Amino acid sequence: MATWSNFNLQNSASPLMEQIIFFHDHTLIILIMITILISYLMINLFFNKYINRFLLEGQMIELIWTIIPTITLIFIALPSLRLLYLLDELNNPLITLKSIGHQWYWSYEYSDFNNVEFDSYMIQYDKSNLNNFRLLDVDNRIILPMNNQIRIMVTAADVIHSWTIPSLGVKIDANPGRLNQTNLFINRPGIFFGQCSEICGANHSFMPILIESISIKNFINWINNYS
Ligand code: CUA
């Protein structure tokens, strides 16, 4: 989870988030190279004394400063497209979780099982309890098995919300009257926090998402004992 002064991406808990981080770093390196080059050129412009009174055109330099940025953009576009299609790929999911956005809470349905559905409300922060996460904790957590493909179906009941979990690389809008699909694969046990990221009204900030990732054995146990 994000803690104080963490300005970077959170640690990944899924292969897709790992790819997103790689792409972010790759693009940032290119951005740094461009910034350094442009800064160097601009600083030079301030201090040189070259004057070209009769300069009208420079075919060669224009060719160069058109082609080089084009190639640079291709180096960003191709990995970006790869990532885009990779994020959408879902094969043979073990279970499907349906999450519905409401003003202002999420509700979940495990459609593969009978009557496993619940609302998930933010709970009051309790200073004395060290296992309590301010503005991020909910009364009913999503329980999911790790190391398995999971399909997420997202929709909303009133206004647009957004189901977002940074450490899993999932961010998808919840639209009323539409059903969106995404997928996740959690590669370690733990609890993973998310928040709504569509400005959806007065209590937008107070509809957290909390996934508890456990082993498949414990998951079966949980779903069997669900009442
Ligand atoms: Cu729901 Cu913001």
* Rounded Cα distance, 162 and 58, in Å: 50
pTM of the full structure: 0.88
What is the pairing mode between strands 149-156 and 180-185?
antiparallel
β-bridge mates for residue 108, sequence order:
99, 118
Q: Which of 147, 151, 175 is nearest to 98 (CA)?
A: 151
Percentage of the chain lying above the pLDDT 90 cut: 85
**Ligand 1 atom closest to the CA of 201, numbered from 1:** 2
pLDDT of 110 > 90? The answer is yes
**Ligand 1 atom closest to the CA of 104, numbered from 1:** 1
What is the pairing mode between strands 170-174 and 95-102?
unpaired
**Distance from the alpha carbon of residue 100 to the mean position of ligand 1, in angstroms:** 11
**Distance from the alpha carbon of residue 121 to the mean position of ligand 1, in angstroms:** 13
Q: What's the pLDDT band for 126 if we cut at 50, 70, 90?
A: confident
Q: Whose CA is nearest to atom 1 of ligand 1?
A: 161
pLDDT in tens, 8-61: 999 999 999 999 999 999 999 999 999 999 999 999 999 988 888 888 899 999
β-bridge mates for residue 196, sequence order:
163
Contacts of residue 177, Cβ cutoff 8 Å, sequence gap at least 6: 155
Q: What's the pLDDT band for 161 if we cut at 50, 70, 90?
A: very high
3-state secondary structure of 131: coil
Q: What's the pLDDT band for 127 if we cut at 50, 70, 90?
A: confident
The pocket around ligand 1, CB under 6 angstroms, is made up of 101, 104, 161, 196, 198-200, 204, 207
* Rounded Cα distance, 24 and 14, in Å: 15
**Ligand 1 atom closest to the CA of 195, numbered from 1:** 2
Domain architecture of the chain: domains with CATH? 15-88 (1.10.287.90), 95-226 (2.60.40.420)
pLDDT of 95 > 80? The answer is yes
**Distance from the alpha carbon of residue 175 to the mean position of ligand 1, in angstroms:** 11
pLDDT in tens, 163-190: 999 999 999 999 999 999 999 999 999 9
Q: What pLDDT is recorded for position 132?
A: 84
- Is residue 173 exposed (0-12), middle (13-18) or buried (19+ Cβ within 10 Å)? middle
pLDDT in tens, 144-158: 999 999 999 999 999
Q: Which of 58, 60, 81, 62 is nearest to 70 (CA)?
A: 62
* Rounded Cα distance, 150 and 186, in Å: 9
Distances (CA, A) of 153 to 34, 129, 209, 223: 40, 33, 14, 19
Q: What pLDDT is recorded for position 131?
A: 80
